[in-house]
Each structure stands twice: as structure tokens, then as C-alpha cells.
Structure 1
């Protein structure tokens, strides 16, 4: 058990990060692996924190996109409704 803990505390190498980033580039697999990396028990602490940060940023971006498209959609909708009166 102590060996696993020490491996999870070790600094990740450039090779480890390259493999991680290549996995993240695969569309659906990358999204699923973010959850595996973030909440898995056997993952490196650095990778866990990075994955949690990525998920938080992703949630913020999705939230902002929903707000933006809702506002833009409402403006566009009212502009189109107003132009039909002429």
C-alpha cells in the first residue's frame, strides 16, 4: 500500500504528460478519462488535481455558453419578431 502512495506522490515526467494529453485529444474517451483521472484512487496527485481543474473550467465554459446563447437567442428572436411587423 505504501508503494502505491509513493507512486501517486511522485512528480510526473514529460512522457507521462504527453501520454495524458494524447488521451485527452480523443473526443469521447478524453472526457471520460477526465473523470477517471479526477476521482480515481490509483492516480497521481498531480494528474488528479489537473483533471479536477479541467472539469471546473469545462463547467464554467459550458455555463457561460448557455448564458451567452440564451441572451443572444432572445435578442435574435425579438429582432426577428420585430422585423415581421413591417
Structure 2
């Protein structure tokens, strides 16, 4: 039976990876400024998500944004196909 009150007391933290620096407000303002530029935003999201050199917070944000873009694109594609089919059917009558 282990009665140790602090089970992590014997853990060596010297080999633990350093946590990433916290992004400042200025960093996020620059990030959001880049994201409002058409085409550049898509390229930068891929760079931040999969480039490997970005802060983990920014990388996770970029991955989440790309997932949402894919979901919205798929939704619009389905809606467009449905409307195009409805229009084509109404024109053939």
C-alpha cells in the first residue's frame, strides 16, 4: 500500500520538454491581420498548421480553422449541388 502523500515527488522534471511561450496580444493581432488577407490567409493557415515551426497554440488554432473551412466548404458544395439539380430539373419540364 502506497501512503505517499505526494506521488509526483520523485519525478525528474529535467527531461520534460519546455512549454511553449504564451502568445501576446500583439502576436494575436498580427495573426488576425494576416488572416483577413484573401489567399494569404489560407496559405498561412497551412504553414502554421503543418509547418512545424509555429507556436503550438497557433498551430492548433490553424488546424481548427482549416477543419471549419472544410466543413463549411462541404456544406456549401452540397447546397450548391442540390440547388443546381433543382434548377436543372425545373428547366427540363
TM-score normalised by structure 2 residue count: 0.77
CA drift at 1:28: 1.2
Residue 41 of structure 1 is matched in structure 2 by: 52
1:77 is aligned to 2:69: no
2:32 maps to which residue?
21
1:3-54 CA distance string (max 9 Å, x none): xx74x71211111011001011111111100000001222100000000000
Runs of 4+ in 1 over 6 A off after TM superposition: none
| Structure exhibiting the larger radius of gyration computed from Cα positions | 2
Query: What's the Cα RMSD here?
Result: 1.4
Q: Which has the higher helix share?
A: 1
Provide the rounded CA distance (Å) in 1 between the counterparts of 2:75 and 2:46. Answer: 21
Using CA pairs under 8 Å that are at least 6 residues apart, name the structure with larger relative contact order, 1 or 2: 1
> What stretches of structure 2 of length at least 5 have no aligned partner?
1-16
Total equivalences in the alignment: 77
Return the alpha-carbon distance in structure 1 between the equivalents of residues 79 and 22 of structure 2.
39
In structure 1, the gaps of 5 or more residues are: none
Q: Counterpart in 2 of 1:54?
A: 65
Give the secondary-structure state (helix, strand or coil) at the position aligned to 1:19: helix
- 2:43 corresponds to which residue? 32
